[in-house]
């Protein structure tokens, strides 16, 4: 992606996510892969207040070469890019419904959300739960690393989702689908639910996976 366009796109996405309540305070972070490095949202800045000129610009080795200091969660982005050569962007949110689901006691850590809708299956697929680690703990990166080759989306327990996509639009679309599915899942708690059948899920994976 051309750097100037990428800077604008990150700030537009940040403002959009913030205005819709998908991120709040200074939580959440976004990165885009460039030909020779990355653009990343800076630490301690709300996603609604991003300035294209002050985004963290990292070189191909991950060193900051211009802009403000990158998010403290930059290691999560790096792990996703390391494991997914096709990833063009990564989005991480503390979005309410996804975090709520990540705190439920009886979830399947191999695949957190049931296949409620076709778009969830197509855009997110299987969603593994990563065990809880406190902020900044490098063991979190090591817990995410083995999952990344097989999954472009992971849910950090008691924390939030991290999603990679081939483009910024793809990563944003997938994390928004994840958040909406988490919301539906919570709405359906206590109801008898008819999820997609394994055959219907397999059919979607064949056609769109």
- Is 142 assigned a catalytic role? no
Q: What is the CA radius of gyration of the chain?
A: 17
**Closest by CA position to 163, among listed 208, 135, 123:** 123
Residue 136: how many other CB atoms lie within 10 Å? 9
Catalytic residue among 3, 119, 132, 180: 119
**Closest by CA position to 2, among listed 42, 25, 32, 30:** 32
Catalytic residue among 3, 8, 35, 73: 73
- Is 132 assigned a catalytic role? no
**Closest by CA position to 116, among listed 182, 62, 64, 170:** 182
Q: Which residues are catalytic?
A: 73, 119
């Amino acid at each position: 992606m051309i750097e100037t366009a990428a800077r604008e796109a990150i700030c537009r996405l940040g403002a959009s996510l913030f205005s819709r309540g998908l991120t709040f305070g200074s939580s959440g972070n976004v990165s885009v892969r460039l030909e020779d490095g990355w653009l990343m949202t800076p630490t301690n800045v709300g996603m609604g207040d991003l300035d294209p000129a002050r985004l963290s610009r990292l070189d191909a080795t991950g060193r900051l070469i211009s802009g403000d200091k990158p998010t403290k969660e930059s290691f999560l982005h790096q792990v996703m890019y390391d494991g997914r050569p096709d990833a063009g962007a990564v989005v991480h949110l503390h979005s309410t419904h996804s975090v709520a689901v990540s705190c439920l006691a009886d979830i399947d850590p191999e695949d957190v959300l049931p296949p409620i809708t076709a778009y969830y299956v197509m855009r997110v697929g299987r969603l593994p739960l990563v065990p809880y680690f406190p902020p900044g703990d490098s063991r979190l990166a090591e817990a995410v690393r083995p999952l990344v080759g097989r999954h472009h989306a992971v849910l950090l327990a008691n924390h939030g989702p991290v999603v990679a996509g081939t483009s910024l639009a793809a990563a944003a679309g997938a994390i928004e689908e994840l958040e909406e599915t988490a919301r539906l899942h919570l709405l359906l708690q206590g109801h008898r639910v008819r999820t997609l059948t394994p055959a219907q899920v397999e059919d979607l994976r064949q056609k769109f996976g």
